[in-house]
């Protein structure tokens, strides 16, 4: 992973000192709240319903054990003993006190973490595949690109006050696990006919109140020209994006209002300008520097192992619970004898994405002993140990189970994305987490979940769609009806390489109706699927909305 150099260290420490001064001036009365608010937001500090919320950046979701232990210590010393993984692969604390935040940031800075650009109208954390560096079919480790983007976009003076926030995601595999089609910019690493690496570039995807799937603006962008091209896109957006209407300020609206061709032409014009400025363009990264960054992501020292592990096979045969976890939570690795393991943060009754201080430390220990000290967070609010020997998987599973981290439900109906909703969020219409918990409770039997197979439920407490409901196989959107909580179901969304926006299938359902409605949809799917291999989303695409609509509403009245 990337390690700070002296410049990074000094920059982050300076920023903490600056914020310490700003907090002090707010408390002394030298700054009003109106003056202070944008400053605290630039340091990731929101004010929610009950308390401040601090969002800590986890660049492209990569962490080491020391960082996890520091995150755990912050949870213990300054919060209520837990932290929360967000859908941007970041960590959030729900209860910090204002005067403690500079100390928290100092502690994070010592472990090479910060909260810069986790809020505000700037370029946010670039996200990627949680299996980066482990996936068999990746063109190269996508985190190299993410780190290049991180260095370019951090404190970029031109892009500090964009019309709206800006999110970039990178995938290096054909199978998209980074939801690149619903980002402001999505980059897919590819090779051209000559075998050279480059990018397919998507622009204008997004969720929120106007969900849109990104449009391809470039089929092949040479790797060396990435920053010129990104800078061109951002410049067009910065100059032409709407600032008169908050709801029309994202780049997706600009692309749709300009039309794809006109937008592309404008970008190409800016791009040509940059390219004309010199070899490699004015902002492109010299090859030597890219190599320096790439060196941080050289694969760890994998052992030469056989693709088969007798110990692993024996453990699976002897322990059905382990075998079930392997089926759902263990993924193929490019290196023979290794696997990646997902740690779902979706145990029954827990807020999706929550993890306690003790659990964080347990994951740190396990990663250190068995996981080459590499840990990832995922946009599905889970964590991943990307590099585990097959020989060690049984020990890993047992260690995870000791801290209730071994639920065998990755990708299943209880592996729900849910935004904080009205339990925490100032903008919420309805609660999200209790709905997730009630669905988990209804489908608590893991065998039943396994029978249902892959089914992604995503829940947002308002139209801002932080819970990604638009791209849930079953999406649930909370709406306020005269002060009562109602839930609008969408069906058929998906966030992979076949991204689709879910269809609204009818009127909102009351809190009491929503779990029954989900169950009816699931039961209908089970009765209609052609085989166990036909996933919910496949069946929905084959059958269309109608039968599901009928099942949903005929009994919900």
CA distances from 101 to 105, 109, 167, 516 (A): 6, 12, 25, 43
Q: Contact 329/393 with Cβ under 8 angstroms? A: no
Compute the radius of gyration of the chain from its Cα atoms: 23
Report the partner that residue 419 touches, choosing among other proteins, ligand SF4, none (CB closer than 5 to 8 A by kind): ligand SF4
What contacts 480, CB < 8 A, 6 or more positions away? 429, 430, 486
Report the partner that residue 460 touches, choosing among ligand SF4, other proteins, none (CB closer than 5 to 8 A by kind): ligand SF4
What's the closest the beta carbon of residue 464 comes to ligand SF4, in angstroms? 4
Q: Is 48 in the site for other proteins (CB under 8 A)?
A: yes
Report the partner that residue 483 touches, choosing among ligand SF4, other proteins, none (CB closer than 5 to 8 A by kind): other proteins
CA-CA distance, 193 to 261, in Å (whole number)?
25
Binding mask 459-498 for other proteins (x = CB under 8 A): ---------------------x-xxxx-------------
Binding mask 234-273 for other proteins (x = CB under 8 A): ----------------------------------------
CA-CA distance, 129 to 451, in Å (whole number)?
27
Q: Is 26 in the site for other proteins (CB under 8 A)?
A: yes
Question: For the purposes of burial, counting CB atoms within 10 Å of the CB of 542, is it exposed (0-12), middle (13-18) or buried (19 or more)?
Answer: exposed
Name residue, tokens 């409605």: 517
Closest to 433 (Cα-Cα) out of 465, 466, 459, 408: 459
What's the closest the beta carbon of residue 241 comes to ligand SF4, in angstroms? 21
Type and span of the H or E element at 275: helix 260-276
Q: Which of 222, 336, 337, 434 binds other proteins (CB under 8 A)?
A: 434
Q: Contact 199/179 with Cβ under 8 angstroms? A: no
Phi and psi based region of residue 192 (left: phi greater than 0; alpha: psi -120 to 50; beta: remaining)? beta
Q: Is 9 in the site for other proteins (CB under 8 A)?
A: no
Q: Contact 384/378 with Cβ under 8 angstroms? A: yes
CB neighbour burial string for 502-530, b if at least 16 within 10 angstroms, e if fewer: bbebbebbebebbbebbebbbebbeeebe
Size of the residue set binding other proteins (CB under 8 A) = 33
Q: Residue 281 or residue 467: which is nearer to ligand SF4 going by CB?
A: 467
- Between residue 84 and residue 113, which ones bind other proteins under the rule CB under 8 A? 95-99
Helix (H, G, I), strand (E, B) or coil at 204: coil
Report the partner that residue 466 touches, choosing among ligand SF4, other proteins, none (CB closer than 5 to 8 A by kind): ligand SF4
What's the closest the beta carbon of residue 184 comes to other proteins, in angstroms? 23
Q: Residue 74 or residue 462: which is nearer to ligand SF4 going by CB?
A: 462
CA-CA distance, 486 to 544, in Å (whole number)?
24
Which residues of the chain form contacts with ligand SF4 (CB under 6 A)? 419-421, 425, 427-428, 460-462, 464-467
Q: Residue 455 or residue 462: which is nearer to ligand SF4 going by CB?
A: 462
What's the closest the beta carbon of residue 90 comes to ligand SF4, in angstroms? 13
Q: Is 19 in the site for other proteins (CB under 8 A)?
A: no
What's the closest the beta carbon of residue 171 comes to ligand SF4, in angstroms? 24
**What residues line the site for other proteins (CB under 8 A)?**
26-27, 29, 32-33, 47-52, 80, 95-99, 351, 422-424, 426-428, 431, 433-434, 437, 480, 482-485
């Amino acid at each position: 992973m990337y390690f700070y150099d002296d410049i990074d260290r000094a920059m982050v420490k300076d920023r903490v000192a600056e914020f310490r001064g700003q907090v002090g001036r707010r408390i002394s009365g030298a700054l009003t709240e109106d003056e202070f608010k944008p400053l605290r937001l630039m340091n990731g500090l929101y004010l929610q319903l009950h308390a401040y919320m601090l969002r800590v950046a986890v660049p492209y979701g990569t962490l080491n054990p020391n960082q996890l232990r520091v995150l755990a210590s912050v949870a213990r010393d300054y919060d209520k003993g837990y932290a929360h993984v967000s859908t941007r692969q970041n960590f959030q604390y729900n209860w910090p006190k204002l005067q403690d935040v500079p100390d928290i940031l100092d502690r994070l800075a010592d472990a090479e973490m910060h909260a810069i650009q986790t809020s505000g109208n700037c370029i946010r954390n670039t996200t990627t595949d949680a299996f980066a560096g482990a996936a068999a079919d990746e063109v190269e480790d996508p985190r190299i690109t993410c780190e290049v983007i991180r260095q370019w976009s951090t404190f970029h003076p031109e892009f500090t006050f964009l019309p709206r926030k800006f999110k970039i995601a990178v995938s290096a595999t054909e199978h998209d696990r980074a939801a690149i089609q619903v980002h402001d910019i999505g980059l897919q690493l590819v090779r051209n006919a000559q075998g050279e690496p480059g990018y397919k570039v998507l622009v204008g995807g997004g969720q929120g109140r106007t969900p849109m799937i990104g449009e391809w603006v470039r089929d092949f962008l040479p790797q060396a020209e990435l920053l010129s091209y990104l800078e061109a896109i951002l410049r067009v957006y910065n100059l032409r994006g709407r600032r008169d209407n908050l709801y029309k300020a994202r780049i997706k609206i600009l692309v749709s209002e300009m039309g794809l061709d006109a937008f592309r032409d404008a970008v190409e014009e800016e791009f040509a300008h940059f390219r004309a400025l010199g070899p490699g363009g004015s902002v492109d990264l010299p090859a030597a520097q890219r190599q320096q960054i790439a060196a941080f992501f050289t694969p760890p020292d994998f052992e030469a192992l056989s693709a088969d592990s007798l110990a692993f096979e024996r453990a699976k045969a002897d322990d059905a619970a382990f075998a079930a976890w392997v089926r759902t939570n263990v993924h193929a690795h490019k290196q023979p004898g290794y696997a990646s393991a997902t740690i779902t943060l979706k145990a029954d009754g827990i807020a999706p994405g929550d993890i306690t201080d003790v659990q964080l430390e347990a994951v740190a220990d396990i990663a250190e002993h068995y996981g080459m000290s590499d840990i990832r967070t995922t946009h599905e609010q889970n964590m991943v140990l990307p590099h585990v020997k097959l020989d060690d998987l049984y020990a890993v599973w047992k260690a995870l189970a000791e801290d209730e981290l071994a639920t065998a439900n990755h990708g299943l109906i209880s592996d729900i994305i849910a935004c904080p909703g009205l339990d925490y969020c100032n903008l919420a219409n309805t609660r999200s987490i209790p709905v997730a918990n009630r669905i988990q409770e209804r489908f608590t039997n893991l065998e039943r979940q396994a029978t249902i197979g892959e089914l992604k439920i995503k829940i947002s407490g308002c139209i801002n769609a932080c819970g990604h409901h638009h791209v849930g196989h079953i999406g649930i959107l909370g709406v306020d009806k005269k002060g009562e909580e109602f839930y609008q179901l969408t069906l058929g969304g998906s966030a992979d390489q076949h991204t689709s926006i879910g269809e609204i299938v009818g009127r909102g359902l009351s809190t009491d109706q929503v779990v029954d409605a989900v169950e009816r949809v699931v039961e209908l799917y089970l009765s209609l699927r052609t085989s166990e291999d036909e996933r919910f989303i496949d069946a929905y695409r084959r059958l269309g909305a109608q039968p599901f609509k009928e099942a949903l509403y005929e009994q919900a009245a």
